[in-house]
Amino acid sequence: MSVRVRFAPSPTGFLHIGGLRTALYNYLFARHHGGQFILRIEDTDQERTVPGAVENIIEMLSWAGLEFDEGPHVGGPYGPYVQSQRLELYRQQAQVLLERGAAYYAFDTPEELERMRARQRAAGVAPKYDRFSMRNSFTLPEDEVRRLLAEGAPAVVRLAVPLDRTVSFTDIIRGAITVSARDLDDQVLLKSDGFPTYHLANVVDDHFMRITHVIRGEEWIPSTPKHVLLYEAFGWEMPQFAHLPLLLNPDRSKLSKRHGDVAVEDFRRQGYFPEALVNFVALLGWNPTADRELFSLPELVASFELERVNRAAAIVDRAKLDWMNAQYLRMLPLERLARELQPWLREAGYPEYPLEYLQRVIALLRERVTRLPEILTFGDYMFAPPRHYDWEYLRKYWRPELPEWLRQLLGELESVEPFTAEIIGQRVRSFIEARGATLRAIVHPLRLILTGKSVGAGMFETMEVLGKSECLRRLHSFLEEQLPVLQAQLE
């Protein structure tokens, strides 16, 4: 049978990197085995559903390069892929359970349930639905149950967990997991608003959508035995389970916004490459070899093995993501980078520049930044003349003869042809040697004048990209406007 897996988020907010990793592992597993990767929206909680969340999830996954074979946005033979559109199916299946005695009606109000829990807390016992003291099919006479239902009294359907037995399943990543049914709650399956809970909807959908492997977060381990019970009650073949280790904040707490950005969208907005983010999260909890860090999506697909997924939770380390992104920044083709830089340039309010120029700028600066848009701040002088100068830096290299040298150098540079780093370098070197000074004595002031900064790429390379006329213009205007101010300050 062909592998079919699903990513089944509930649309309660933006897709975060934990969700991205779950989706990714499902995707990798499906593609590795030539199976199907399905998106299913689990919107059974009306209260928590947020508008736009589905769109965000789909958009982010698509940005990351994960394409679905079936889902609400692409259709498929087992739809609809949104749970709120499958209510009738869940109702029918709940009925099946009811008829088989695997489930029962309960009529307790929220207040009654709260009192029950309070009693249990006071008695020091684990909070758990007490089938025999509450108002349900077990305690109420049959005709009373019928009457309540006929009256339309608020009712839920609960799972009738067997009283004394053991429930176990095999997890691909963790091996055998066994729990006592005594520790399982009579979970609500169908809520009084007619919506199913996760447990019912999930099992029913996985069955009817022919899901073969359930790959999801570790937080689902405790409810899996209930799902096992449901499969048994329905008489359905069980999928295989694989529970992924959690992703954690640096302080080992569950991943959250408090510790910085966790939404995939945040990373995109900051200019991380999808390739880098995918590569990064793929290696959080799984490693194909350990002697290599950089993998393309097809390479990940080729080597992915669920059996090799780790059991322990992983802390998200931004520094490593930064390193990885910087690696991609250095190896991605310049044509693409130039194209991607354009929107950032526009956003920052800079004029349009030819792609060819952007490529040269990126080639010059990319190994000095970690994210593409940083080119705009690190190398702002490539797009506009410097407005602020690092005066401290110039002061360090100041000498009385400097103004004169600069004037002479201006004339010297005018005759440099072609204006390439090599020729510029030769001329500047011989210029400064003739005056018995070191190269740094002139390069640093020059850098300050042309870029406004103390750091940057090689000076001569920078000048070449900037172009002769721009260099001369900046040098000239510095001598005319800034230098007198500086000299006044120095005296």
- Which residues, numbered 366-395, are part of the site for RNA (CB under 7 A)? 367-368
Residues in contact with 175: Cβ distance below 8 Å, sequence separation at least 6, in sequence order: none
List 98, 148, 313, 363, residue binding RNA (CB under 7 A): 313
Q: Does 440 bind RNA (CB under 7 A)?
A: yes
Q: Which residues 62-101 are close enough to bind RNA by CB under 7 A?
A: none
Ranges of H-type helices in 186-289: 198-208, 224-234, 264-269, 274-282
Q: Which residues 175-194 are close enough to bind RNA by CB under 7 A?
A: 175, 177-180, 183, 185, 188, 191-193
Q: Where do we find the tokens 């590569």?
A: 279
State the minimum distance, in angstroms, from the CB of residue 292 to RNA. Answer: 7
Q: Interface with RNA by CB under 7 A: which range of 68-76, 92-100, 127-135, 383-391?
A: 127-135
Under 8 Å between Cβ of 83 and 206: no
Under 8 Å between Cβ of 2 and 35: yes
Under 8 Å between Cβ of 66 and 24: yes
Which residue, 4 or 6, has its beta carbon nearer to RNA? 6
Q: Which residues 25-54 are close enough to bind RNA by CB under 7 A?
A: 42, 44-45, 48
Q: Interface with RNA by CB under 7 A: which range of 53-61, 265-273, 454-462, 467-475?
A: 454-462
Which residue, 44 or 359, has its beta carbon nearer to RNA? 44
What gap in Å lies between CA 381 and CA 258, rounded to an integer?
A: 35
Which residue, 124 or 333, has its beta carbon nearer to RNA? 124
Q: Which residues 411-430 are close enough to bind RNA by CB under 7 A?
A: 425
Which residue, 37 or 280, has its beta carbon nearer to RNA? 280
Length reported for the chain: 491
State the minimum distance, in angstroms, from the CB of residue 477 to RNA. Answer: 21
Q: Which residues 259-278 are close enough to bind RNA by CB under 7 A?
A: none
Size of the site for RNA (CB under 7 A): 86
Residue 153 corresponds to which tokens in the numbers above? Answer: 């009294």
What gap in Å lies between CA 239 and CA 204, rounded to an integer?
A: 12
Q: Which residues 210-229 are close enough to bind RNA by CB under 7 A?
A: 218-223
Q: Interface with RNA by CB under 7 A: which range of 89-97, 304-312, 350-358, 408-416?
A: 304-312
Q: Where do we find the tokens 């800034």?
A: 482
List 149, 302, 331, 455, residue binding RNA (CB under 7 A): 455
- Strands (DSSP E) found in 247-324: 247-248, 314-315
Under 8 Å between Cβ of 370 and 325: yes
Under 8 Å between Cβ of 240 and 172: yes
List 24, 38, 314, 338, residue binding RNA (CB under 7 A): 314
Q: Rounded to the nearest 10 degrees, how much is the dihedral formed by the CA atoms of 62, 68, 9, 107?
A: 150
257 labelled catalytic: yes
Which residue, 347 or 367, has its beta carbon nearer to RNA? 367
How many C-beta atoms lie closer than 10 Å to residue 349's C-beta? 8
Q: Which residues 141-180 are close enough to bind RNA by CB under 7 A?
A: 154, 156, 174-175, 177-180
Phi first, then psi: what are they for 462, rounded to 5°? Answer: -60, -45
Under 8 Å between Cβ of 154 and 183: no
List 34, 51, 124, 141, residue binding RNA (CB under 7 A): 124
Q: Does 285 bind RNA (CB under 7 A)?
A: yes
Under 8 Å between Cβ of 57 and 88: no
Q: Is the dihedral of CA 58, 221, 194, 118 positive or negative?
A: negative
Q: Which residue of the set 226, 254, 257, 396 is catalytic?
A: 257
Which residue, 152 or 235, has its beta carbon nearer to RNA? 152
Half-sphere exposure of 476 (CA within 13 A, CB side): 10
Which residue, 96 or 113, has its beta carbon nearer to RNA? 113
List 138, 231, 236, 323, residue binding RNA (CB under 7 A): 323
List 195, 241, 267, 381, residue binding RNA (CB under 7 A): 195
What gap in Å lies between CA 490 and CA 482, rounded to an integer?
A: 12
Tell me which residues are annotated as active site. Answer: 257
